[in-house]
Amino acid sequence: MGPLEGIRALELTRMPPGALCTLILADMGANVIKIEAPPQVEVRGAGFTLSRGDSVKEASYNFLDRNKRSIAINLKTAEGQRILHQLVRDADVLVEGFRPGVMKRLGGDYEALKEINPRLIYCSLSGYGQDGPYSQMPGHDINYISFGGALDLIGEADGPPVVPLNIIADYASAALHGVIGILLALFARERTGKGQHVDVSYLDGVIPLVAAVPGVIDYFREGITPRRGETALSGCYPYYAIYETKDGKYISIGCIEPWLWENLCRALAREDFIPYHFLLEHFVKKPDEKYAKVFKELKQIFRIKTRDEWFDFLKDKDVCIGKVYSWDEVLNDPQVLHRRMIVEVEHPTLGKVRQVGIPIKLSQTPGSIRRLAPYLGQHTEEVLLELGYNAEAISELKRRGIIA
């Protein structure tokens, strides 16, 4: 039994961050119903939304929608909105990912739905939040990390900002903060009996993530603006950097603490490097010529062996080392497999389907993969029957294009 067993959640999102938010709830036992637009309804999107059509294979490998049911409702109609309102009556959580104002046009804004269900936890994931001068602007991860100060700090000191994967704003900020907000609101509801609106902005969540970074965290006290490629953990110092190896691959070294750096230097028989370990002033100072010389020599040393040879040599010497993996290597790493972060799930027609595992390990109420992702509208009839619709009413709704 998962910790969220008995929690009923509705998802109205089109993009992966919203799906990841509700996936975490679903993996932990929540009954998540994904409300999607029928194929005949024109939907504006980025071209890579999570609508899976009727492809069983495409759906089954889409881990973001596993443990969910899908219903297809045209919320641009009064009848479709009536179905949403019926679903809300017994729901604990609703997650929506639209620009502010869209849900109101669809009859599903918080003010309307809390009248139907005062205990509802209503989570809005939006780029800039529900208010403010930017609230109606469109955006994506690259824009949010621009405003949030993350993009300016990523890259080398003498180069332009480097665009990272869309992990920071989309997933670390919006998806994970969304889950945290929902769980906090559920906890508060246990005390007050009342639901509330959880307003999560992609931009808002980026700012504390950046502010906690060494070199940035002390800004308010010291008043020194951190610069790209000049902070302690930006790869400009030898103790925290990426090194190319003999085979053209890479290893990562993360020996921040002095004793870990000393372990590395002794393992390499270069005790003369020991003085060049972590110092507090590295948070705000550029590396000097001495550090540059050590860095240069280390780069030459690490080209002597292959990536895997270096890992085997250093892994038992209390040194922070990692192999820089390609994605296919990640899926076969012994630690990743041991922790069941890559699992196989049985499908009735496709056989074994590989999926990402569940990262939060609970000893008493663990999460589980109970079903693979549905195809678009797979459970429309099932859910409507649960709401009390009969077969004749469902057929009429289909005929009129209200559901699919």
Q: Are 278 and 232 in contact (CB under 8 A)?
A: yes
170 is catalytic: yes
Least Cα distance to 78 among 40, 107, 111, 109 occurs for 107
Which residues have CB under 8 Å from 43's CB, separation 6+? 14, 37, 49, 51
DSSP string, 128-149: S-SSSTTTT----HHHHHHHTT
Task: Assess contact for 291 and 276: CB atoms under 8 A.
Answer: yes
Element (H, E) at 82: helix 78-89
Catalytic one of 85, 140, 197, 347: 140
Q: Is 247 a catalytic residue?
A: no
Token pair in block for residue 294? 């050590």
Which entry of 27, 65, 141, 170 is annotated as an active-site residue?
170
Q: What does the alpha-carbon distance between residue 250 and residue 252 come to, in Å, rounded to a whole number? A: 7
Residues for the chain: how many in total? Answer: 404
Run of H or E residues at 71: strand 68-72
Say if residues 134 and 128 touch (Cβ distance below 8 Å). yes
Coarse DSSP helix, strand, coil percentages of the chain, rounded to the nearest 5 percent: 40, 15, 45
388 Cβ contact list (under 8 Å, min separation 6):
none
Report which DSSP code applies to 373.
P
- How far apart CA 59 and CA 51 sit, in angstroms, is 9
Q: Residue 365, by phi and psi: left (phi above 0), alpha (psi -120 to 50) or beta?
A: beta
| Residue 297: burial class (beta carbons within 10 Å; 0-12, 13-18, 19+) | middle
> What token pair was written down for 281?
């002033």
Work out the number of other CB atoms within 10 angstroms of the CB of residue 283.
20
As annotated, the active-site residues are: 140, 170
